[in-house]
Amino acid sequence: MPRAIVAFLLLHSLLFVGIVHAEQATVRSVTGGQVQGIVVSDSDYAGPDLEVYKGIPYAAPPVGDLRWRPPQAVTPWNGVLKTDNYGATCPQTRDLRKILDTMVEGQGMSWLRTKLTLWLIGLAPERPMSEDCLTINVWTQKGASEQELKPVMVWLHGGGHIAGSASDGLYEGDLLARKGVVLVTMNYRLGILGYMAHEGLSDEAEAEQRPRSSGNYGTLDQIAALQWVQDNITAFGGNPDKVTIFGESAGGHSVGQLMASPLARGLFHRAIAQSGLGSHNLLRLSDPVPARNPAEYSGQEIAKAAGVAAAEDPVQALRSVTVEQLLEISSQRQDLMDYLHPNVDGWVLPKSVAEIFAAGEQADVPLLIGSNADEGTLFSIFDMPPFHWRTEVPRTVAELDALLSEEFGANDARLLMAHYGVKQDENVASAVLNIWGDVYFGAQALFAARQMENVESPAYLYFFKQTPPSDKQILGATHSAEIPFVFGSGIPLFPANDSDEMLTDIMSTYWVNFAKAGLPIAKGQPAWPQFVADQPRWMEFKHGARVTPIERSMLYDIYLRRQQALLTDVKKSLGHGVQTASSESATQ
């Protein structure tokens, strides 16, 4: 997906200032050596002091010959490693200013406040980047020990698999840790370095007696980080048998991909997917799908752009290309960004997420999943088609009506045109964004909830509708807007009111209690019903919480019927499809 999520996160990280004591945290032993963080005792939220450890390595630096290979065992260090600062951000392009402007200007702030916010953004320094970026951050209550283990929540950041970082200020874990969990965030490889597939890399894996695969390195990093949690989290007072993975946007897609991957089995016990599951993604390693070449196409094109396609060994030649050159290629070849995502390779992903969920082959763990009412509004600067299986971008009422009629038939097209209020050409752009948001996020959440009836564990569905408090705001409940309500990480200068503070407490409590017991409960709030297909309801978050029928189920069903037909066509074209490789360790 596009990189707009990063804009929302970056604004907070640019302005956020944490207040900490100079007191050093407990020295704790982990794989590789000993680490020491800092004590955090001053916060907007009451509760116990925290010990925070930032920048703990969980794998060897993926540099040199380890570029485009599965993560390797962490390199041990001598003495006590000071883990009081975030590790480097994984390499990514940083052309985000237009997205930031969209987020800031959409809040409905005064002219002066808007300009001040934009000015502060322009003053902020960039975070350092490095391929040596595979680090983990941990928040735990001061004095935590193995004698009283707490549930663990592991956050997977968003950014379209091509951007983002665990160091973004919205992901500070103070509130969640004070509510009784051990909070973990991680970096994982992104973009070209994390998800580029290449036929030479696939051949190399096979020659080294690994399953023939390439391109899923960022997902393998996530799995390695979850294994690190299993091996080390007791040292921070965390319970390795009560691990909840949660993420938003590409992080939500990662949740779905980890639920689908046999390599991640047993590494987590509950899952929360915010605005994404990855069930729309049909990208395959070596086979084309509608509107997409094989994933390996990206590597071929990147090798051409780097001038090494004709080399005797293009893969080794690519490993010699500088990070700066690779990022420049990323900027110049935006058409390749749709290929830099997890792919069906027969190993990390034996089948697509949609196929695995439909067959009941996903991890049998409780799932909390949902979307926001106005997901698409943040993406107004992108010229995007409304459907991931098409490339056309309609500009007029006639073009949109023709596209919808072709995809869904005349009757459903009329329903959709009426729902999105498409009467004049100037309505079309906003309708396309709203369709895109419902297709990618709302419909996928409903799909996932339904498919959880194929396993024993329950699903819980939500719909986030809280908007910025200004009556001049134009974003609505946009993509990523729920994150501050989960983490309690309000963005400086952005407008907020008492309703926002109340909803933050409500949502964070539901999330934490789900991690504790697999049940989203909050004292004094409505009981959250399990999803039942013949009586579908969700928890609506707007000025509080309430259980309501699914108001867009008719729209979602239209999109899901088409998605199922598309998936059927793909399977037919592939015959038996990709065969499942052995579920060997992700770290080799």
C-alpha span between 290 and 300 (Å, rounded): 19
Strand partners, 371: 463
**Helix, strand, or coil (residue 34):** strand
Distance of CA 45 to the CA centre of its chain: 26
Structure tokens, 290 = 């509608």
Question: What type of residue sits at position 350?
Answer: P
- The token pair at 106 is 């959409």
Give the residue from 69, 107, 35, 97 showing the smallest Cα distance to 491.
107
Confidence (pLDDT) at 119 = 87
For residue 394, how many other CB atoms are within 10 A of its CB? 22
Query: Is the distance from CB of 581 to CB of 205 less than 8 angstroms?
Result: no
Token pair of 527 as six digits: 């009981």
DSSP β-ladder status, 459-464 and 537-541: parallel
Q: Which of 375, 407, 482, 540 is catalytic?
A: 375
Please indicate whether residue 202 is annotated as part of the active site. Answer: no
Tell me which amino acid residue 314 is. Answer: P
What is the pLDDT, as a whole number, of residue 391? 86
Residues in the chain: 588
Closest CA to 507 of 529, 489, 485: 485
Residue 207, both tokens:
């020659």
From CA 359, how far away is CA 357, in angstroms rounded? 5
CB atoms closer than 10 angstroms to residue 116 = 14
Q: Of 165, 249, 279, 380, which one is the catalytic site residue?
A: 249
CATH topology (fold) of 4-50+62-82+96-567:
Rossmann fold (3.40.50)
Cα distances (angstroms) measured from residue 352 to each of 359, 537, 577: 11, 27, 10
Task: Determine the 3-state secondary structure of 51 from DSSP.
Answer: strand
Q: In one letter, which amino acid is 95?
A: D
Sign of CA dihedral 286, 319, 321, 328: positive
Find where tokens 């951050």 sit. 137
- Establish how many alpha carbons lie within 13 A of residue 233's alpha carbon, considering only the half-sphere containing its beta carbon: 31
Integer-rounded Cα radius of gyration of the chain: 23
The DSSP bridge partners found for residue 29 are: 34
DSSP 478: B
Q: What confidence score (pLDDT) does residue 98 get?
A: 73
- Cα 46 to Cα 43, 50, 170, 185, 311: the distances in Å are 7, 11, 18, 22, 60
Query: pLDDT tens per residue, the chain (588 residues)?
Result: 333 334 444 444 444 444 444 689 999 999 999 999 999 986 556 678 999 999 999 999 999 999 999 999 999 999 999 999 999 999 998 666 677 788 899 999 999 999 998 888 877 777 899 999 999 999 999 988 888 999 999 999 999 999 999 998 889 999 999 999 999 999 999 999 999 999 999 999 999 999 999 999 999 999 999 999 999 999 999 999 999 999 999 999 999 999 999 999 999 999 999 999 999 999 999 999 887 899 999 999 999 999 999 999 999 999 999 999 999 999 999 889 889 999 999 999 999 999 999 999 999 999 999 999 999 999 888 888 999 888 889 999 999 999 999 999 999 999 999 999 999 999 999 999 999 999 999 999 999 999 999 999 999 999 999 999 999 999 999 999 999 999 998 777 888 999 999 999 999 999 999 999 999 999 999 999 999 999 999 999 999 999 999 989 999 999 999 999 988 888 888 874 443 333 333 334
d(CA 161, CA 330): 13
What does the DSSP 8-state code read for residue 90?
Answer: P
Crossing angle for the helix pair 410-419 and 397-408, nearest 10 degrees?
Answer: 130
Question: How far are the Cα atoms of 161, 196, 203 from residue 326, in angstroms, in the given order?
Answer: 16, 11, 22
Catalytic, out of 479, 489, 508, 540 = 479
562 closest CA partner among 455, 367, 405: 405
471's tokens: 């009556």
Task: Please state whether beta strands 135-141 and 182-186 pair in parallel, antiparallel, or not at all (unpaired).
Answer: antiparallel
Q: For residues 27 and 35, is the Cβ–Cβ distance under 8 A?
A: yes
C-alpha separations of 213 from 191, 221, 349, 479, 547 in Å:
17, 15, 10, 32, 44
* Residues contacting 191, CB < 8 A, separation 6+: 91, 92, 93, 161, 162, 163, 330, 337, 340
Handedness of CA 448, 271, 369, 166 (dihedral sign): negative
pTM of the model: 0.93
Tokens of 158: 């968003």
370 and 246 Cβ atoms separated by less than 8 Å: no
Q: Which helix (H) or strand (E) holds 432?
A: helix 428-437
Question: Rounded distance, CA 458 to CA 364, Å?
Answer: 9
Residue in this structure with the two tokens 């930032």, named with its chain if needed: 54
Q: Reduce the secondary structure of 173-238 to three states and give it as a string.
A: CHHHHHCCCEEEEECCCCHHHHHCCCHHHHHHHHHCCCCCCCCCHHHHHHHHHHHHHHHHHHHHCE
Active site residue 584: no
Amino acid 22: pLDDT: 62
